[in-house]
């Protein structure tokens, strides 16, 4: 009898432990997926992760969440070198879980709807999340489908695009299998990220074809929608010199509208002669797709008339909602969309949010700093750095419009480290302070 009572007591004791563990487990799960955060970050790309890391230091990890659907985070700038065969695509990606700052909640969904009047967003999994402060870092969208014949044309060989992880290795395949004919490179009729990338792959292809003895069989053509080769005169002048020296053909105001991949033909419209089109045969083509703002912004009160996130160009604060901020490619900041710009913006936004958290007015101003390492061969780079006004804002006390081996090393080896261990940890806010030191306080 006494034995049986002891046994029952033990069973009750074990049952109670199981129930307690279950309650604790659900309580913790509930906490993990709570529906209100002091700081909510939308997008876990360059800007989103950098800001989450910075906000974690301000308000504590448990008060920060990131909404990001992708399992892999990519360092996109290295895709230029992947397309040219000098880096592997695997080296560009890391699990998203490994870049989310520890303790910060990762909501693996897409944001589907904004409700800034009620400080709330809705996700595609039906979750409603509210916030005190919202940081929008949704990047931009690629629109291959706006070119007739794409994206299905990528099923054929001879065509690639460094702008997507799905097509970047196709660029290298087209280049290494090049035999004879036209090598075409395009720039679309929309704002894009890294406006130098469409021509960097042209210079690398030229260098590759020279190295492999095929250059005399190639006619290299850069058809761009823009009226200029590059937006900043100092660097454009240097690039025109290279184009002439290397016998590269540049056609301004030419916009790709169709790819007939089965026939290896590309159709361009002449933007200065409406209705006039030209067909080019190709042996290889690199396509830079049209790009646009995140579709989810459309129809929300957060967008400007062109669909980009409508922020103050100095403070990065939303023009209507004082507790909403933006960073990176999704914003209407009138500067070139790059990770380098994101770095400089992250330092300013960090300061802006800190001041607002203390009920003070923002006092740090973003000058539009952006940078584009214009890769001109397998061992040279022109390091363009400039501000909102297109004025050079160079870090080093040398003429950066000259091709440099050191700058190539910076692009290929140093910048990836700065990205993974500096920017994404919220520790790299751009070269501003170093510029001042390098120029002995004169810049």
Ligand X SMILES: Cc1cc2nc3c(=O)[nH]c(=O)nc-3n(C[C@H](O)[C@H](O)[C@H](O)COP(=O)(O)OP(=O)(O)OC[C@H]3O[C@@H](n4cnc5c(N)ncnc54)[C@H](O)[C@@H]3O)c2cc1C
Catalytic residues, which ones?
A: 194, 372
What token pair was written down for 352? Answer: 């802006």
What token pair was written down for 376? Answer: 């001109």
What token pair was written down for 35? Answer: 């529906």
Q: Per-residue x/- mask for ligand X, residues 106 to 145, rule CB under 6 A?
A: ----xx-------------------------xxx------
DSSP-H helix ranges across 374-427: 405-409, 415-417
Nearest by Cα to 324 from 66, 47, 115: 115
Cα gap 144→142, rounded to integer Å: 6
* Stretch binding ligand X (CB under 6 A), from 191-199, 226-234, 254-262, 304-312: 191-199
> Can you tell me which of 62, 70, 86, 89 binds ligand X, judged by CB under 6 A?
70
Nearest by Cα to 409 from 61, 81, 58: 81
Tell me how far apart the 2 most distant CA atoms of the chain are, in Å.
102
> Can you tell me which of 54, 55, 63, 79 binds ligand X, judged by CB under 6 A?
79
What token pair was written down for 255? Answer: 């916009």
> In this complex, which beta carbon is closest to ligand X, that of residue 183 or of residue 424?
424
Q: Which string of b and e fits 165-178 if b means at least 16 CB within 10 Å?
A: eebbbbbbbbbeeb
- Taking each helix axis from N to C end, the angle separating 168-176 and 197-211, rounded to the nearest 10 degrees, works out to 30
Binding positions for ligand X, 27-46, rule CB under 6 A: 42-46
Residue 423 interacts with ligand X (CB under 6 A): yes or no: no
Cα gap 119→206, rounded to integer Å: 52
Q: Rounded to the nearest whole angstrom, what is the least distance from the CB of residue 327 to ligand X in the complex?
A: 7
> Can you tell me which of 188, 307, 328, 362 binds ligand X, judged by CB under 6 A?
328
Q: Rounded to the nearest whole angstrom, what is the least distance from the CB of residue 399 to ligand X in the complex?
A: 20
Region for 381 from its dihedrals, namely left if φ exceeds 0, alpha if ψ lies in -120 to 50, beta otherwise? beta
Residue 69 interacts with ligand X (CB under 6 A): yes or no: yes
Q: Rounded to the nearest whole angstrom, what is the least distance from the CB of residue 131 to ligand X in the complex?
A: 14
Nearest by Cα to 311 from 160, 135, 53: 135
Binding positions for ligand X, 358-387, rule CB under 6 A: 371, 373
Q: What is the CA radius of gyration of the chain?
A: 25
Q: Tokens 């690199």 belong to which residue?
A: 286
Binding positions for ligand X, 261-320, rule CB under 6 A: 294, 296
Q: Rounded to the nearest whole angstrom, what is the least distance from the CB of residue 185 to ligand X in the complex?
A: 13
> Can you tell me which of 48, 188, 290, 368 binds ligand X, judged by CB under 6 A?
48
Residue 68 interacts with ligand X (CB under 6 A): yes or no: yes
Q: Total number of residues binding ligand X (CB under 6 A)?
A: 37
* Stretch binding ligand X (CB under 6 A), from 63-71, 169-177, 357-365, 376-384: 63-71
Binding positions for ligand X, 140-179, rule CB under 6 A: 162-163
Residue 333 interacts with ligand X (CB under 6 A): yes or no: no
> In this complex, which beta carbon is closest to ligand X, that of residue 77 or of residue 149?
77
* Stretch binding ligand X (CB under 6 A), from 189-197, 212-220, 359-367, 392-400: 189-197
Helix, coil or strand: residue 352: helix
Cα gap 239→330, rounded to integer Å: 28
Task: Calculate ∠ Cα 316-322-328, nearest 5°.
Answer: 25
Residue 198 interacts with ligand X (CB under 6 A): yes or no: no
Q: Rounded to the nearest whole angstrom, what is the least distance from the CB of residue 44 to ligand X in the complex?
A: 5
Q: Rounded to the nearest whole angstrom, what is the least distance from the CB of residue 332 to ligand X in the complex?
A: 13
> Can you tell me which of 54, 56, 337, 435 binds ligand X, judged by CB under 6 A?
337
Give yes or no for a contact between 261 and 147, defined as CB atoms under 8 angstroms apart.
no
| Residues within the interface to ligand X (CB under 6 A) | 42-48, 67-70, 76-77, 79-80, 110-111, 137-139, 162-163, 193-194, 197, 294, 296, 328-330, 337-340, 342, 371, 373
């Amino acid at each position: 009898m006494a034995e049986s009572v002891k046994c029952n007591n033990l069973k009750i004791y074990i049952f109670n432990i199981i129930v307690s563990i279950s309650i604790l487990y659900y309580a913790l799960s509930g906490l993990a997926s709570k529906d209100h955060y002091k700081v909510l970050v939308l997008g876990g790309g360059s800007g989103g992760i950098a800001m989450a890391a910075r906000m974690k230091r301000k308000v504590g990890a448990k008060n920060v969440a990131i909404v990001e659907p992708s399992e892999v985070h990519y360092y996109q700038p290295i895709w230029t070198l992947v397309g040219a065969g000098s880096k592997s695509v695997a080296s560009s990606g890391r699990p998203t879980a490994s870049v989310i700052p520890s303790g910060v909640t990762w909501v693996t969904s897409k944001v589907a709807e904004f409700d800034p009047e009620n400080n709330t967003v809705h996700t595609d999994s039906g979750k409603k999340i509210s916030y005190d402060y919202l940081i929008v870092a949704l990047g931009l969208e690629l629109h291959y489908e706006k070119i007739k014949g794409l994206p299905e044309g990528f099923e054929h060989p001879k065509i690639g695009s460094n702008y997507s992880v799905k097509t970047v290795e196709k660029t290298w395949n087209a280049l290494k299998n090049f035999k004879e004919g036209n090598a075409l490179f395009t720039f679309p009729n929309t704002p894009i990220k890294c406006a130098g990338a469409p021509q960097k792959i042209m210079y690398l292809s030229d260098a590759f074809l020279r190295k492999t003895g095929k250059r005399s069989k190639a006619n290299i053509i850069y058809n761009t929608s823009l009226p200029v080769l590059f937006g900043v005169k100092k660097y454009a002048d240097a690039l025109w010199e290279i184009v002439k020296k290397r016998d590269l053909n540049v056609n301004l105001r030419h916009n790709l509208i169709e790819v007939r991949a089965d026939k290896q033909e590309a159709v361009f419209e002449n933007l200065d002669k409406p209705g006039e089109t030209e067909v080019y045969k190709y042996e290889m083509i690199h396509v830079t797709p049209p790009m646009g703002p995140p579709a989810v912004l459309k129809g929300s009160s957060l967008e400007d008339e062109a669909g980009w996130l409508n922020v103050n160009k100095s403070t990065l604060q939303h023009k209507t909602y004082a507790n909403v901020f933006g960073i990176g490619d999704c914003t209407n900041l009138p500067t070139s969309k790059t990770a380098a710009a994101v770095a400089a913006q992250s330092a300013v936004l960090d300061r802006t949010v800190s001041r607002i958290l203390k009920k003070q007015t923002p006092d740090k101003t973003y000058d539009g700093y952006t940078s584009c390492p214009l890769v001109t061969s397998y061992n040279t780079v022109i390091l363009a750095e400039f501000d909102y006004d297109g004025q050079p804002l160079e870090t080093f006390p040398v003429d950066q419009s000259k091709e440099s081996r050191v700058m190539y090393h910076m692009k290929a080896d140093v910048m990836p480290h700065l990205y993974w261990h500096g920017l994404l940890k919220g520790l790299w806010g751009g070269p501003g302070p170093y510029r001042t030191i390098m120029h002995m306080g004169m810049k």
